[in-house]
Structure 1
Amino acid sequence: MTTTPPYLTGHYTPVAEEVSAIGLTVEGSLPPELTGRLLRNGHNPKPGVTPTHWFKG
C-alpha cells in the first residue's frame, strides 16, 4: 500500500501553476500599513519524483 507523505498533502501540496490574482473580495478590513504582495513559497518536487524527506524537494 502506498500512502502520500503528509508533507505533500493539504496545505503542503506542491504548487503546479503560478497565479496572479487581482481584484479579490476582502471580508473585514486590512490594516492600512499593509502593502505589498503575498507569495507562497514551498517545495515543488520535480514531476514524478517523491522526495523521501520534508526538506528534499
Structure 2
Amino acid sequence: MVTTAPKPYLTGHYTPAVDEITATELTVEGSLPPELTGRLIRNSHNPKPGVTPTHWFKGSGMVHGIRLREGRAEWYRNRWVHT
C-alpha cells in the first residue's frame, strides 16, 4: 500500500478555503488604532475542493480582502480568481 504525505501547501495555515464568504460587523480581539484605515488585499493559491495540484503554482487562486476603518473591521470577503 502506498500512502502519500499531505502536501505542505494544502495543510495548516495553507488549508484552502472552500467557500466564497462575505462577512460584516467583524469582531476584533484587542483593539485597532482608529487612524488605521484602508483595505488589505491578498491574492493566493487556493485549489478548488476535490483538486490536488502537484505544485504551489498550479490550480486556482483566491483573493481575500478586509476593510478597516475607525478602529473597526468592517468586512471580510474572499472570491475565486476566474481563470
TM-score for the superposition, normalised by structure 2: 0.52
1:1-57 pair list within 5 angstroms: 1-57=3-59
Distance 1:22 1:37 in 2: 14
Distance 1:29 1:49 in 2: 38
Are the equivalent residues in 1 in contact too, given 2:17–2:46 (CA < 8 A)? yes
Identity %: 77
CA RMSD of aligned residues (A): 2.1
Are the equivalent residues in 2 in contact too, given 1:12–1:42 (CA < 8 A)? no
Q: Which amino acid aligns with 1:17?
A: D
Change (3 A) 1:19 1:39: farther
- Structure 1: unaligned runs, 5 residues or longer: none
Aligned length: 57
Distance 1:35 1:15 in 2: 26
Distance 1:43 1:2 in 2: 21
Distance 1:23 1:44 in 2: 25
- Structure 2: unaligned runs, 5 residues or longer: 60-83
